[in-house]
Structure 1
Amino acid sequence: MDPAISNNASDLLQLVERSAFIGFWRLDARQGQLHWSEQLARMHGAPPGYTPTFENSLDHYAREHRAELEAAVRRCEQDGTPFDVEVQIDSIEGRRTWVRCVGQAWRDGNGAIAGVEGLVQEIAPAGYEAGTLMRHTVSMGGALGSGEAFATIDRQGRISYANEQAEQLLGLDNESLLGRKIWSFFQKRVRMQVEEHFRVALEQRRTIELEELDAQVSHWLEVRGFPFGAGMALHLRDVTSRREEQRHLRLLEGSIARLNDIVIITEAAPFRAPGPRIVFVNDAFERRTGYTREEVVGHSPRFLQGPETQRAQLDRIRAALEQWERVRVDIINYTKSGEPYWVDLDVSPVWDELRRLTHWVAVGRDITERKTAEEKIQYLAFYDPLTQLPNRQNLLDRLNQAVGEGGGTAHEGALMFIDLDNFKVLNDTLGHQKGDLLLQQVARRLRNCVAKGDLVARLGGDEFVVLLENTADKPLEPLTAAQAVSQRILEALGEPYVLPGYLHHSTCSIGVTLFGKLPSSVSELLKQADLAMYQAKAGGRNAVRFFDPEMQAVASANAALAADLRQAWRENQLRIEYQPQVDAGGRMVGVEALLRWEHPTRGTVQPADFIPTAEETSLIIPIGHWVLEAACAQLAAWAERPDRRHLCISVNVSVRQFRHPEFVSEVTAAVRKAGVPPGRLKMELTESLLADGLDVTVAKMRNLKDMGVGLSVDDFGIGYSSLSYLKRLPLDELKIDREFVKDILTDSNDAAIATTIIGLGRSLGLEVIAEGVETEEQRDFLASRGCHRFQGFLYCRPLRLAQLEAFIDASSAAVAGEAPRSGAAVS
């Protein structure tokens, strides 16, 4: 190798070292990213692989110099003005260092400014002679790592340095390249011309630009040279693809008459008004649009736009044409008759041999049928295929509208996040097919729990969301609505699911958040509801939690009560008390079994406080079964005594307990196990059972009636009273609620209702018993209207079993001795 060539290559590196070179950088204006060398990154204290923005990098420079540097870079970015500024940088070691930043614009294949690039040099106290080299290097286009092919040649045209990209482009390794003359890489037909251009440029110390030269390495090259030292620095760029694109467009231009696609050719005027004028359209254009060539040539294509033409797509076309770039969009155009149609429009620039833009060619394919099908698919994309519920995207769109993120009016409402408890167990044990069937049933139940206009959506898996909105068409108070709907959902999803060959029991956990009173985003609402749902999971599942702090306190209290109730059940804190029922002669005919809870710290917990919690947590199922077995066992004990064997025991049955699929079987088993006459057992049912599913309710009641079990409607008249269902129910008894008995002597409405119930019962052949009787006057009024069975404090308070036995003995003695009908021996 020629020593001079080797020395030239090493001289370049030595000069860079002497220049106190810190590193190179390149700002990509379109991406907004700053790429820098490892040396510069280390100087700024940036971690490996970090890609900063230009704005972030300014933080490393002295505050008083930032404006100057930013102005220089932005000016270069706008009009290509090179710059050379001296500023201070805060190094990672914590010291300030004077550096020189030199840069210039770099351009894309179309000649447009694509960004700014340059080098950073630490200014040595000895002076600035190395800066001259750096400025030359930068003028070469940000060499030594810019990502482009770069080389240097000496004054004889021999290569003295080549970077890795140049090796790849020219097809030789570095050792083979060094010393070889640059024009030897071109075809013989242009080699002499290239050599002449280089010799003149080297002798006269001026730049050189050679475009689209046919190289021996099967590339079309673009070469730019700049004087450097005694030789020249070169940028080499592969423009093969660009040349092929031009050839393709020229071929297209010659063939457009035979295309079935719409073709429009315009002059190369700016896209802004009045825009480029049409110089040619093909036959397909005339057929599809209804316009003739004579009508459109010389006019802007703007007449194809209409009310539904997408502004965003027009902006894309404008931006691309301003950069002389190809662009492809799907856009709505209009025919001469005003009919909209979709077109896949591909707009490309056409250049002449001198790289001057001459025309725009727009090729459009009619895709109206495809877009129509896509719209149908898009519609289906907003719904879950398994449950037919709106999906996540649908929910997000609706939530955006509800909270006003799309610019609309925000509404008040509630968002409920619902997750099935232990759903994974079902999938793992019975398979995903049964899991899917369960999800479909859950979807139907959820829809039945909300009003028209409310949204039920499936997020995925076993997660569902309910959106309740307060709108002009459907006004609601969010808190009240959320409480009511969440309780309906807990109850509905807690009912057994009938799957093929299997009866599945499941519950859900619900998180609720309210919105509308304070600004909130969709993501915040989803997080709040999700968090509340997990609090419901953590609280034992099958529960509702509100995100609102005040309501959460109430929810937490309910959760604590539920936890205490579970412990009470485990530790046998619950007990049964019995309240006697007597006839008109004061003779005891039976008792009502009543559940009581004596908490070690809470004290006596009223049934009205803990029975709803037992319902919510499903504890009512095992508790109810325990009460049923205890009642049957007591009936069996009384059957051994002639003075007690006539007594009946009424047992309260909750809605959830009655709807349990095994309820009738459990009653049958309990009666048979105790060996007692079924007629001595009476089931007291609430009217809420009759609110829905009446056919199933009637069927179960008939099964119990056929067994011989007595049936009574408790608290008749305060719930879902309807004369139409009474004739269908196999009842034995109606119970007048204590609310009507309390003011029966002073309230004419209560007196009328009680009288009506008594008359109704007698006409249907049913026994009528009044509860809550506390005075003789109340008893006498009821007896005068035909009611001859009573229950209340006039006779006795609820008693424990030992107290009850004493009361029965005293009551029997009093009746035998014709004692007064009131005044219990045991209170």
Structure 2
Amino acid sequence: MHAALGEPLLQEDALRGLMERTARMGTWVLDVASGELAWSPELVQLHEAPPGFQPTAEQAGAFYTPEFRERMREQLRACVAAGRDFDEEVQISTQQGRRLWVRSVGQAVRGEDGRVERVQGVLQVIEPHGRHAGDEPFATIDADGRISYLNEAAAALLAGGEAGPQRPTLIGRSLWACFQKTARVRLEEGLRHALASGERFELEAQDARLARHIELQGDAFGAGLALRMRDVTERHAAQQHLRLLESSIARLNDLVIITEAGPFSEPGPRIVFVNEAFERRTGYAAEEVLGRTPRLLQGPATQRSELDRIRTALEQWQPVRVDLVNYKKNGEPFWVDLEVSPVWDAQRRLTHWVAVGRDITERKTAEEKIQYLAFYDPLTRLPNRQLLLDRLHAALDDPASPREGALMFIDLDNFKVLNDTLGHQQGDMLLQQVAERLRSCVARGDTVARLGGDEFVILLENSGQKPMDPLTGARAVSERILAKLGEPYGLAGHQHHSTCSIGVALFGKTPWSVSELLKHADLAMYQAKAAGRNTVRFFDPEMQATVTASATLATDLRQAWREGQFLVDYQPQVAVDGRLTGVEALLRWRHPRRDMVPPADFISTAEETALIVPIGRWVLEQACAQLAVWAAVPSRAHLSIAVNVSVRQFRHPDFVEEVLEMIRHAKVPPNKLKLELTESLLAEDIQGTAARMQQLKAMGVALSIDDFGMGYSSLSYLKRLPLDQLKIDREFVKDILTDPSDAAIARTIIGLAQSLGLGVVAEGVETEAQRDFLAQQGCTEYQGFLFSKPLPIAQLEAYIDAMPA
């Protein structure tokens, strides 16, 4: 820690002696779980122990003198057990045998589960103390507050140091006249209450002559009170200093700046103190900044709006908290979570500002990465699905400015063969080169996006600047793409030939929705595949015949719902230590002719037909009923059940009330039910989505974003949502050991979850190597075939029973 250099800047104010007092004060931290005790160097010095000395908790307790030892042990036990803080004046004996009066303060620090994790405290020397019964000021007063007796010490205290001569003149006078007028009403009310109730009289007030702080303690004595008095001015000042010291250096890993409370006109309040963390993180030495203003930390990217917020708050003498870009001495920018608070003296006069800042550069960098991932594909740097959807909505949903254009689906032919023969690294190189070639085939203003895998989409718009017929333009672009993508590729020394299939859907003349346009282009692309690949096909209304299969599936789904053909399997979710934490409920369809139908084959149809609402409600009822059964079995009562909730089901008007009724009916703890919401919920109506999630959270239901990282999430949305967990999509997990992009995305998602205080679970974990990599990044929960496939309830319970206790 550093004090100001040269002429003292802190004379006669609340911070006088700030740094000198640190030598007479030390801090300590006790870890409750391990019992490990850590002393600060100042505390070691205060006990006159050798440098580096670290005692056990039992040894530390022995430093209190015998008359206080058991009392302090009891205080510490109460602090650990019940979180009860303490503040005591006691004596310690140093290793050199000296006895010191100290103020011993302890504070409980609780973890997220509400339990006391550690106790931290301060020991401050408060000598000279002078606890001698014969010298203690003592007086008696009658029911009107008049002095009937006082000893020499009391007379000296009340007379401001003039002892004997003043004593006779004080007898018979009102004791309250010796104190400031502002305290007299409190003193009289305290006297009346003590006489009426028999309770102890305890007050602190300032005397009328020297404004000293005097503590009075009284007990009933005849018709009046017997009072013990003590000058606690030094203690009061010490408490003020201690509060200031705690407000400035309690978080030693954070930057601390103290400025004088000067005017905000140029150049502004001057810095009078900085801590060592400030020096380490900014590169400035204390002597370089003392006497200057905090403006030296500002630079080109420092937000003017946030500076104005700070100025407005400080002019109103209010605390303020902002995220601010600051600059180090070498010019490097860094983010800081800055909290500025006023400091007052005993007369409520503003004396200083204390600014505490936490370096959040890593968090902001992670946020920026996630923000980029929300709209761009990290491998090809092309717009992703979310940005494509935004632009499609802009092109189709603006009646005031109708546009014409074409949507092109491009799928690489036989891409899987390349991955299987040359590996994913060469596959990624091909995708990057394809992205560059596609960019070169379109005009500025057109969108080239990657949906995922080897699927690309191009949005061609006739905005008026390119007044070409959409059909003509799409044909010309398709020809360029087929030719360009058909040229050889150089992949790390290998020459590779590739082709593509293109499906085109035109828009502008027919009022299609975004989903319809995407479906038409996708159908046309599959027609190109069926035609032998390396070709282009335009959507034809006759293709609609191929959609009849979807109608047949919808009919079968309705019959399945009526006949109860659905069932629920459960897949375990396992913590990093191998404990089973819960399961995910997975819908299954046992078709009478097709046997088990994969969910991927019917969920989208169920969503389109709205059957997903009653089916999803049934799955939730099954999960709640199963939780009720497990609640009665101690070895299973801790398990949670995660249930996928579709977009249509979540937006049903009665969804929140239905969930609440299911929980009430089943009589299960709400936090054991976890709703996994699809990331596509965040694509639109974010206000309505957030409001419903807040209602569910208020009920106690846990909320998770499923398949996180697939391109819908916006960081600004995530910060507003009451989430408990992010779930890493299996697409990022399956190639996490071979695909640097997938590894980077997983690492970033885990870092984001940690910065937002969320849990994270990875799905699709199939190997120990994948699990170990995720664990190294901080992922604490997993789901996948490495642990178990989805199981019927009987097999699941056998699986649970077979797990080690």
TM-score bin (small chain): 0.3 to 0.5
| TM-score, reference length from structure 1 | 0.35
Is the radius of gyration larger for structure 1 or structure 2? 1
